[in-house]
């Protein structure tokens, strides 16, 4: 169901800071034309922390309507408030999202048992499959292999977006849980390696800017043509690096502004990138053949 290059969509804003639905839809259409295999609206890249609940729901519904079942939509529905996450999952289900991406609870630092109970409650109410999003760098907590294995036994928990950058984690989880558990990379720089360890795809920031290259890389990996995948990776490495020189999604929004898919506007406390990062992003896009 979920594999290949899945774009973690930015949420474009107009110059006045409001949601830019026209550019959002235009961006999705371009992505579909260039081989993107799925979308995640309102994840970290979509600036979910600074969207109101109404905006959050509107972005998901707009994405579902624009995609129109051509590829899966994995709605960002996570929260460190379990009841809030339930509300987001129920809304995503009602508007036709195919799955939910749920981040480990951030800031309040639950134990492994707390994380298990959080996801179990979401599992029990959800009408759509759930992908766990494990990103210790942003959430402080790290879901253990053992907790992941317990959750994989529940009927709605079907996989993980792994942003630990620990490639051994993929093999360990595959060993304990089995090959049917969907493991998706959440790190563009290490996605190629994760695929070699049994991954199914990548929820990618870079694919916002380089959808065709990211789709081709994932296709090559899924065909076990890692020589071809490495050649594509060589084109993308400077871009993977440049898009994280400052806090994402500020660099990727700047990159998309060069392609006329987005204004260079982020919401505070994020700010637009410095002139030095602008140069690095431009150079990386030229290296990848995008500019």
Q: What is the mean pLDDT of each run of 10 residues along the chain (291 residues)?
A: 96 98 98 98 97 98 98 98 98 98 97 98 98 96 98 98 95 97 97 97 98 98 98 98 98 98 98 98 98 96
Task: Retrieve residue 239's tokens.
Answer: 């871009």
Q: Is 255 helix (H, G, I), strand (E, B) or coil?
A: helix
Show me where the domains of the chain are located.
4-225
Paired with 40 in beta bridges are: 8
List the catalytic residue out of 116, 161, 253, 261: 161
Return the pLDDT at 178: 97
Residue among 57, 116, 133, 254 flagged as catalytic: 133
Task: Give me the torsion for CA of 209, 211, 216, 218, rounded to 10°.
Answer: 90
pLDDT score of 1: 75
Please state the pTM of the whole predicted model. 0.97
Q: Is 261 a catalytic residue?
A: no
- 69 as an active site residue: the answer is no
CATH assignment, 4-225: 3.20.20.70
**Burial zone of 105 (CB within 10 Å; 0-12 exposed, 13-18 middle, 19+ buried):** buried
User: Are the beta carbons of 7 and 208 closer than 8 angstroms?
Assistant: yes
CA distance 139 to 22: 32
Give pLDDT, residue 208.
98
The answer to whether the beta carbons of residues 140 and 107 sit under 8 Å apart is: yes
Q: Which of 153, 39, 46, 49 is nearest to 96 (CA)?
A: 39
The predicted pLDDT at position 50 comes to: 97
């Amino acid at each position: 169901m979920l594999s290949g290059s899945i774009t973690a969509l930015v949420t474009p804003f107009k110059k006045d800071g409001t949601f830019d639905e026209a550019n959002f839809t235009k961006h999705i259409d371009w992505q579909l034309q260039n081989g993107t295999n799925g979308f995640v609206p309102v994840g970290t890249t979509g600036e979910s922390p600074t969207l109101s609940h109404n905006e959050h729901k509107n972005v998901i519904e707009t994405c579902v309507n624009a995609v129109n079942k051509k590829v899966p939509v994995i709605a960002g529905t996570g929260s460190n408030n379990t009841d809030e996450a339930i509300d987001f999952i129920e809304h995503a289900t009602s508007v036709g999202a195919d799955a939910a991406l749920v981040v480990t609870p951030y800031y309040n630092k639950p134990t492994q048992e707390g994380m298990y109970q959080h996801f179990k409650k979401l599992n029990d109410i959800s009408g759509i499959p759930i992908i766990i999003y494990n990103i210790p760098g942003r959430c402080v907590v790290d879901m253990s292999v053992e907790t992941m294995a317990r959750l994989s036994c529940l009927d709605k928990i079907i996989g993980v977006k792994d942003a630990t950058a620990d490639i051994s984690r993929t093999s360990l989880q595959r060993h304990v849980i089995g090959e049917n558990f969907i493991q998706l990379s959440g790190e563009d720089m290490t996605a190629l390696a994760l695929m070699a360890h049994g991954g199914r795809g990548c929820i990618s920031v870079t694919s916002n800017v380089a959808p065709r290259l990211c789709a081709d890389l994932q296709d090559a990996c899924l065909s076990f043509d890692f020589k071809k995948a490495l050649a594509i990776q060589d084109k993308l490495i400077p871009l993977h690096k440049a898009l994280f020189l400052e806090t994402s999604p500020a660099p990727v929004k700047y990159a998309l502004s060069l392609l006329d898919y987005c204004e260079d506007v982020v919401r505070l406390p994020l700010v637009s990138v410095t002139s030095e990062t602008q140069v690095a992003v431009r150079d990386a896009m030229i290296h990848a053949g995008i500019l």
